[in-house]
Structure 1
């Protein structure tokens, strides 16, 4: 995972240099996507910087849909589960469009046909982490906490545990717990609907 440093060309072929340090607006980001600048690359915008996302490892890729299905069962009607698609955080001066592995948002999927869920809609974010573990524990955790996302999980494939982050503040999550094989995790909004760690971790 790295900030994109290669030269980007606009639709008319003019070079756009200095991307490594230049911060973009939300409109810039989507315009570049619309005209094909990113081509087949997976990118996300974090606080105005365009980040190239690491390719998913086989266990990472294999876990995403089953995890989404477990959360869909736990949350039930009134929530929508989204996988690896954008959400909108921050404001015009500090825009972010991260694409977490799984997001639980309020309402039906039909509510998001014309816009992405924002920090007021999102109840839980899950990142599946192996090569991105440090990034997810630091940059992503701070980003989600600053946006007051009430709950953030890291499915930590390195240490074989699920890390649960709660009580967001502007300086980070206050409550952080680790759950391993034999434990279960219960989302804040679904008391009594626990998910066994063994169902999530390979």
Structure 2
């Protein structure tokens, strides 16, 4: 058993806070903070995840209206103890090259492409936390027989909980957060509808 590196020790008795992530240069890329605990991407990503994410970013970038930017793998400071890193987000914040995070009021949409190691967090923990933070739209992208399936959710503001608005196979059409039409089968390399 090797010793825990010094940078992994919380800086205070209360543990980690959202702003601490900006001061951990030794931490692996894609480090998140969930309920004050550091969460690392420990297993290698599958090629399917990377291809779907890249194709989804490209499709949304092409369709985003002026004033909406599509980002991948950027953290959102939900509160002082939570700073998750979604796979994709749509934001109204202008591009800033030195930006390390967004705040919920700047985010229109968050999407997670489910991986085996992140499935529980994506389907339950992040679903609840993004809703409680007031992010209007959340997509969970699952793999079903090699094809992407998008589970779309919209925030019910009075309850601060998500309501399922659809499960999209083959094609995703939605008027929110901006008009979107994506041929989901075209996101998979070598497959076209």
TM-score range, shorter chain: 0.7 to 0.9
Q: TM-score, normalised by structure 2?
A: 0.80
Superposition deviation, residue 168 in structure 1: 4.2
Find the residue that maps to 2:121 and give its secondary structure.
helix
The Cα RMSD (Å) is: 2.7
Aligned to 1:100: 86
1:173 CA displacement? 1.0
Deviations 1:88-131 (A, max 9, x none): 111x3xx2221111111004213x74562210000011111131
Q: 1:16 to 1:134 in 2, by over 3 A?
A: closer
1:9 corresponds, among 6, 10, 18, to: 6
Q: Is the 8 A contact 1:129 1:136 kept in 2?
A: yes
SS class of match (1:50): strand
Residue number in structure 1 paired with 2:17: 25
The aligned runs of 1:78-117 (5 Å cut-off) are: 78-90=67-79, 92=80, 95-110=81-96, 113-114=98-99, 116-117=101-102
Query: 2:137, 2:177 within 8 Å by CA — same for their partners in 1?
Result: no
Q: Give runs of aligned pairs for residues 134-145 of structure 1, distance below 5 A.
A: 134-145=120-131
Corresponding residue number in structure 1 for 2:106: 121
Per-residue deviation, 1:134 = 2.8
Q: SS at 1:66's partner residue?
A: helix
Alpha-carbon distance, 1:22 to partner: 6.2
Q: 2:141 aligns with which of 127, 140, 155?
A: 155
Give the aligned partner of residue 196 of structure 1: 183
In 1, distance between residues paired with 2:154 and 2:83? 21
User: CA–CA distance in 1 between the matches of 2:99 and 2:115?
Assistant: 33
- Alpha-carbon offset, residue 171 of structure 1: 6.2
Gaps of 5+ in 2: none
- Equivalent residue in structure 1 for 2:115, among 130, 133, 138: 130
Matched length? 181
Per the alignment, do residues 81 and 24 of structure 1 end up closer, same or farther by CA in structure 2, a change over 3 Å counting? same
